[in-house]
């Protein structure tokens, strides 16, 4: 049994609802931060139990930050645990929180579970994630439930994440195919400008039942092959 699951089963105060297989996923990616001076941000405070679990797991050196749209969650703030009240579908609000509390090492989106909120949160907060950091979106099974499918973007987070997979290989795409008025490889910097996010910042995407994990790491241009 994972240490996180042991903490959950024992209880730390507050309440939260989690699928049990989430804890193995958390520990796989969060373990390297345990005991370190890191900043953890979670969207969706609910009863505060999840923040309490992460406080114990990550240790006293961690900064624990929560976001929730429900003003009642403000009462859950305590020393070592900050609560910010606002809508995670509001990019301006998220940028304000990031300016006050970021950059972050771990971001967990357990908020509204709708695509509009998840996508706005990702585009707002991923730039504030440290290199080596983890961005985790959970409860994605909700996209199959009535009332969660509608999105002004016309896409859900599963589809968005799947669409990023091939973009991680953009360093290897012939720029001439993308910009025909230039010769192939004439300006490799143009490839970076074409999709700076995908080329520079996304090391890996991992898919699990109801969970997508994205690893942020600066990826240099592959100048040579290893044979």
Query: What's the angle, vertex CA 205, arms to CA 63 and CA 22, rounded to 5?
Result: 60
3-state helix, strand, coil in the chain (%, to 5): 45, 20, 35
Residue 204: phi and psi, rounded to 5, are -160, 150
Cα-based distances in Å from 168 to 64, 101, 127, 179: 30, 29, 16, 19
Half-sphere exposure of 34 (CA within 13 A, CB side): 13
Q: Report yes or no: 68 and 46 within 8 Å, Cβ to Cβ.
A: yes
Of 21, 84, 113, 185, the catalytic one is 113
Has 21 been annotated as catalytic?
Answer: no
Mind telling me the catalytic residues? 113
């Amino acid at each position: 049994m994972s240490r996180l699951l042991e903490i959950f089963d024992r209880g730390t105060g507050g309440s939260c609802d989690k699928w049990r297989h989430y804890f193995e996923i958390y520990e796989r990616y969060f373990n390297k931060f345990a005991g370190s001076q890191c900043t953890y941000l979670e969207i969706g405070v609910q009863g505060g139990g999840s923040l309490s679990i992460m406080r114990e797991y990550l240790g006293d050196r961690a900064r624990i930050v929560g976001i929730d749209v429900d003003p009642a969650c403000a009462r859950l703030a305590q020393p070592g645990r900050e609560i910010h009240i606002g809508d995670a579908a509001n990019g301006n609000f998220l940028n304000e929180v990031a300016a006050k509390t970021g950059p972050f090492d771990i971001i967990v989106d357990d908020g509204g579970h709708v695509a509009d909120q998840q996508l706005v949160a990702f585009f707002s907060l991923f730039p504030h994630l440290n290199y080596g950091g983890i961005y985790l979106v959970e409860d994605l099974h909700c996209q199959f439930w009535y009332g969660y499918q509608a999105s002004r973007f016309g896409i859900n987070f599963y589809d968005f994440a799947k669409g990023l997979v091939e973009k991680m290989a953009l360093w290897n795409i012939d720029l001439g195919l993308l910009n025909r008025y230039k010769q192939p490889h004439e300006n490799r910097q143009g490839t970076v400008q074409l999709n700076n996010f995908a080329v520079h910042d996304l090391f890996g995407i991992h898919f699990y039942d109801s969970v997508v994990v994205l690893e942020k790491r600066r990826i240099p241009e592959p100048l040579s092959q290893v044979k």
